[in-house]
Amino acid sequence: MSISEIMTILIFFPMSNHRNFKIFYLGLIWQYHYNDFPALLSYTCFIGVVSSVLPLLLAVRL
């Protein structure tokens, strides 16, 4: 999964009506947007990769 795909999911989460990221990822992204992200990671792997993208995400939000 590319950095831009990970950031897209992380940026879209606050705009959704979901309070819990796990429900958002498994219920919305995994179920309905599987074709939009061809290399979609499992939830556990995605959480592991988020730490490497977090500084970039914070820089974008400033």
Domain residues of the chain, as ranges? 3-61
- Higher-pLDDT residue of 13, 60: 13
Please give the average per-residue pLDDT across 41-46, as a whole number: 96
pTM comes to 0.85
pLDDT above 90 coverage of the chain, percent: 77
pLDDT average, residue stretch 36-49: 94
Report the pLDDT value the prediction gives residue 62, as an integer from 0 to 100: 58
Q: Which residue has the tokens 């499992």?
A: 42
pLDDT (0 to 100) of residue 25: 97
Q: What is the pLDDT of residue 58?
A: 81
